[in-house]
Amino acid sequence: MTSATSKQYTSELPSALYRADQVRELDRLAIQEHGIPGFDLMSRAGQAAFDLLRDRWPQARRVCIFCGVGNNGGDGYVIAALAEKAGFEAHVVQVGDVTRTQGDALTALQRAEGEGASFQAFDPNLSDGANGADIIVDALLGTGLSGEVRGDYAQAIDVINRSGCPVLAVDIPSGLCSDSGRVLGHAVKADCSISFIGLKQGLLTGQAPDYVGDLYFADLQVPAAVVEPMPPSAILINNARIREWLPPRSRLSHKGNNGHVLVIGGDLGMGGAAAMAAEAAGRSGAGLISVITRPQHISAILSRRPECMVLGVEVGEDISAQLNNVDVLVVGPGIGQGAWGQSLLRQALATDLPMVLDADALNLLASGQPCDDATAARTGRGNWVLTPHPGEAARLMSDTIDAVLRDRYAAVRGLQQQYGGAVVLKGAGSLIASDAGRTWVCRSGNPGMATGGMGDVLSGVIGGLLAQGLSVEQAAAAGVQVHAAAGDLATGQTEHTDEEYSQVHAPLGQRGLLATDLMPYIRRLVNPC
């Protein structure tokens, strides 16, 4: 690909994310209060998208642009005009009543006509909806979409997806909700997408990773004075933040400075979960690691990680002596939902120690089992991190999984408001909500990480970072990023990590990735300086 240094787009995404209404306000401020003509912004958007198209597909010469009747379609008309002027064959497929096109979009349409672009009203019965194109540009629907996609727009999206052509989505793949990342009935599956002015939060979570493709950004030269006063709706975690939170250690540091983590879990047959969490806590930098588990698992854990101090307990045993000698608890890996797990979780919750709750500890919390009073079990506290996947989140909210997936941002914020501390909603585009009101988004990670034990490793990483003095918000956000980036490094998939972390062996691929494969990369990532 041609270097993008002179282009008006970048693959390095900004950390500030916004809702669609916020970006519309930024657009208004740029036009009305900073004097940037709206057609100039549209022209810059079209130019940035066309630059990306030429860089990404340098051999392409026939471009088919699917345009709607709004400003997203206007961006498409600009691309059509630029393509014709550059010697391409630009063909516009018009979806919707073109007589409704007005303002800047109408000006762009007239310019495309003047440059010689061909136009055709959308016909779902055409055998070749892409008109023999080398590349399709999706400029159908922008960020204003709120309801389900229907009619010609739904049919046009289906035509694009069936075409077999590579697809560039302008601002957002049509049919994808820019706030939640949910598919609104039908959505374009793009090979890459370019977002403008403010990066939309819905491009990074929910169903979006299956539709967005490679993501690029263009600020359209909107002044910082327009954008910076707008508080972001969410923040993208990056490795620069990890460097800030994990500076080099003092030469005088000793193990006592770096915290003592106690992992509680590993009921019968599930000792591996506790072992992986303990190892991850150590690899992320905790000074001391203890494990409370079933007696049957002691030798296995010690043989894998002799650095751990392991205590075997039976149902109902008092662990108060151990709880009095540690700094952070990780409760839940393999703990089960029986009497053994209930007893241990009840004792852990009776302390005021910082803790990470995962797996069946969350299911027990949702059911009210740890305490005699279910309301007390649900009482929020400020010094814990909850790490549910969508099913566990639904149980914690007494709601359905569909409700959680419908708007992951709303779900993670609702969980945080109910339970306090920091909440990690796992999945593609993991989200972290903190008691400071911030929501963090992790873009790293890959489908190979959908295997047993990955959550146990994550809880151990977060616990290890908590033990080293990070706040619950920092430990949760940094832990998610380190864990996900380690998964990318372990597969050789490094496009979402900083360059200094990408010097790894030849890619091994995603299938066959195991949770313990992350361990050496976790160690690398928590030493970023």
Annotated binding site for (6S)-NADPHX: 71-75, 142-148, 153, 171, 273, 334, 389, 456
Closest CA to 317 of 272, 352, 347, 356: 347
Q: Indicate the annotated binding residues.
A: 71-75, 138, 142-148, 153, 171, 174, 273, 334, 389, 426-430, 455-456
Tokens 């400075």, located at residue: 257
Q: How many CB atoms lie within 10 A of CB 518?
A: 30
CA 217 – CA 293 distance, rounded (Å)? 48
User: What residues contact residue 214 under an 8 Å CB cut-off, 6+ apart?
Assistant: 11, 191, 192, 193, 495
DSSP state of 183: B
Enclosing H/E stretch for 441: strand 439-441
How many Cα atoms occupy the beta-carbon half-sphere of 484 within 13 Å?
A: 28
- C-alpha 1 chain-centroid distance: 26
Sheet holding 288-293, edge to edge: 199-200, 16-18, 234-236, 439-441, 431-433, 422-425, 384-386, 355-357, 328-331, 260-264, 288-293, 309-312
What is the distance between the alpha carbons of residues 466 and 263, in angstroms, rounded to a whole number? 13
Q: Strand, coil or helix: what is 265? A: coil
Bridge partners of residue 139, in order along the sequence: 67
The answer to whether 488 touches 423, Cβ cutoff 8 Å, is: no
Q: Which string of DSSP letters, residue by residue, matches 90-126?
A: EEEEE-S-GGG--HHHHHHHHHHHHHT-EEEE--TT-
Q: Which residues are annotated as a binding site for AMP?
A: 426-430, 455
14: nearest Cα among 210, 224, 184, 168: 224
The token pair that represents 477 in the structure block: 């956000």
Angstrom distances, CA of residue 415 to CA of 394, 397, 514? 9, 7, 29
